[in-house]
């Protein structure tokens, strides 16, 4: 994974995100660091201020400046009004078309239009010729309007919740307006392509830095004698993560007399319910809810773990994981994994080849798989080695980012076909 210079065909790129940095969005941090290693000059635009008290240490390595886009007129009235007047005077037809499109979307569209005008003007000042946005939900709404009113092309990275909780009509509009859309699983790509067959949708797996997530972090052999096996799961405490199924699996393991400790890292709306479930099963001594942790502290948890568990499900509202980055991290660091057949996860984990797969919401099957890895260290070690090889071969950050790098080069040869003239 050596650094390389980007093609001169890629001018400075704007990256529009909800917040930066954000503890739960390590995939965006990895992408920023990877693109900078490949020689791309970035300007980051955020729709809101960071909400975490702490940040991953690697966020300090980011060279790009982060500019917050005003959310309300009162935050920068002079700048917003001046930006819109300038855009209106220079390209009245383009401005009117973008305004009409925003108006059709109601109040949210008008708010996005205000922000888009400011962003389009700021991009011009920063020398940014292309805007790439993470999430096909609210950030892509702003990016689409900024492209229309400013005449610069835009593209999208679509992930999980932003796809499955968005109306198909909204997705189709943004997919067809963008120069291209990348998404992190083949499952997602097929879903989006079915909605907008004419749009350019490309699968680009998330990648990680294998030098950061490396087996050298492991402090002891898996399932070493006289040490209590440790289970680990990392993710937001929300319905789609299926962590209540993990708690039920732990109840079954405890009932079978299996010794274990289980750490659950993350935060979210399900915390109180999970805590109550743990207490009701009398598992307070075996399961800990650790809350938010930085990447460095999560790596420490990987280092001490015996088995990594990702019990994902499709939530009642349709939300689901793509391929969780934490699953990639655990596999890269040399942990055997147990996870579920949901969305894009089987694109990464192949049953009994580089991990164990069970059906979602099946606590008994999850407990059986965990117990099998605890009781069979040779199987666990073999799966862990294959898991590391899978991530190294197919989910290397720099290698996968060359996909988006090539796509970023292409639109600038025909920018007028991407942005509204």
Integer Cα distance of 336 and 338 in angstroms: 7
Q: Are residues 189 and 264 in the same domain?
A: no
pTM of the model: 0.91
Q: Are residues 186 and 276 in the same domain?
A: no
pLDDT in tens, 380-393: 999 999 999 999 99
pLDDT higher than 80, residue 297: yes
Burial 137-162 (b: 16+ CB within 10 A, else e): bbbbbbbbbbbbbbbbbbbbbbbbbb
Q: Are residues 382 and 235 in the same domain?
A: yes
Q: Are residues 174 and 222 in the same domain?
A: no
Average pLDDT over residues 73-98: 97
pLDDT in tens, 161-213: 999 999 999 999 999 999 999 999 999 999 999 999 999 999 999 999 999 99
Q: Are residues 389 and 404 in the same domain?
A: no
- 7 falls within a domain: no
- 8 falls within a domain: no
> What residues make up the domain containing 107?
13-207+397-417
C-alpha radius of gyration, the chain, whole number? 23
Q: Are residues 39 and 179 in the same domain?
A: yes
Q: What is the pLDDT of residue 411?
A: 52
Q: Are residues 74 and 90 in the same domain?
A: yes
Q: Are residues 286 and 334 in the same domain?
A: yes
- 325 falls within a domain: yes
CATH of the domain at 171: 3.40.50.2000
> Average model confidence (pLDDT) for the chain?
93
Integer Cα distance of 305 and 223 in angstroms: 9
Q: Are residues 117 and 77 in the same domain?
A: yes
Q: Are residues 239 and 366 in the same domain?
A: yes
Q: What is the pLDDT of residue 11?
A: 84
Average pLDDT over residues 34-46: 95
Q: Are residues 343 and 407 in the same domain?
A: no
The tally of CA atoms less than 13 A away on the side-chain side of residue 23 is 20
Q: What is the pLDDT of residue 2?
A: 41
Q: What is the pLDDT of residue 217?
A: 85
Q: Are residues 271 and 408 in the same domain?
A: no
Q: How many domains does the chain have?
A: 2
- 222 falls within a domain: yes
């Amino acid at each position: 994974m050596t650094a390389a210079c980007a093609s001169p065909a890629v001018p400075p790129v704007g990256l529009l995100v909800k917040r930066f940095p954000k503890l739960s969005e390590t995939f965006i941090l990895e992408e920023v660091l990877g693109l900078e290693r490949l020689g791309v000059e970035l300007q980051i635009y955020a729709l809101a201020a960071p909400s975490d008290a702490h940040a991953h240490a690697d966020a300090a390595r980011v060279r790009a400046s982060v500019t917050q886009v005003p959310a309300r007129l009162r935050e920068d009235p002079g700048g917003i009004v001046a930006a819109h007047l300038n855009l209106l005077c220079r390209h009245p037809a383009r401005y009117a078309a973008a305004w009409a499109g925003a108006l059709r979307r109601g109040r949210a569209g008008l708010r996005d239009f205000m922000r888009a005008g400011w962003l389009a003007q700021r991009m011009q000042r920063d020398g940014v010729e292309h805007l790439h946005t993470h999430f096909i939900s609210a950030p892509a709404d702003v990016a689409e309007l900024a492209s229309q009113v400013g005449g610069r092309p835009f593209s999208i990275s679509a992930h999980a919740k932003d796809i499955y909780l968005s109306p198909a009509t909204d997705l189709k509009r943004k997919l067809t307006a963008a120069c291209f859309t990348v998404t992190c699983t083949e499952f997602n790509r097929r879903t989006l392509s079915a909605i907008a067959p004419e749009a350019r949708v490309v699968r680009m797996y998330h990648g990680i830095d294998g030098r950061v997530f490396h087996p050298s972090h492991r402090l002891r052999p898996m399932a070493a004698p006289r040490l209590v096996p440790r289970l680990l799961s990392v993710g937001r405490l929300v319905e789609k993560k299926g962590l209540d199924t993990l708690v039920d699996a732990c109840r079954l393991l405890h009932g079978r007399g299996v010794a274990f400790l289980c750490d659950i890292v993350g935060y979210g709306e399900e915390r109180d319910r999970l805590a109550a479930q743990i207490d009701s099963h009398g598992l307070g001594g075996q399961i800990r809810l650790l809350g938010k942790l930085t990447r460095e502290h999560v790596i420490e948890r990987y280092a001490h773990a015996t088995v990594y568990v990702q019990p994902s499900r499709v939530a009642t509202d349709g939300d689901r994981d793509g391929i969780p980055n934490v699953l990639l991290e655990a596999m890269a660091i040399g942990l055997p994994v147990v996870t579920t057949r949901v969305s894009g996860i089987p694109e990464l984990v192949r049953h009994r080849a580089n991990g164990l797969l069970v059906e979602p919401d099946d606590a008994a099957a999850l407990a059986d798989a965990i117990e099998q890895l605890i009781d069979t260290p040779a199987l666990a070690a073999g799966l862990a080695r294959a898991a590391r090889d899978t991530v190294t071969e197919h989910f290397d950050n720099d290698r996968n980012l060359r996909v988006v790098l090539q796509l970023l080069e292409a639109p600038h040869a025909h920018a007028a076909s991407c942005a509204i003239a």
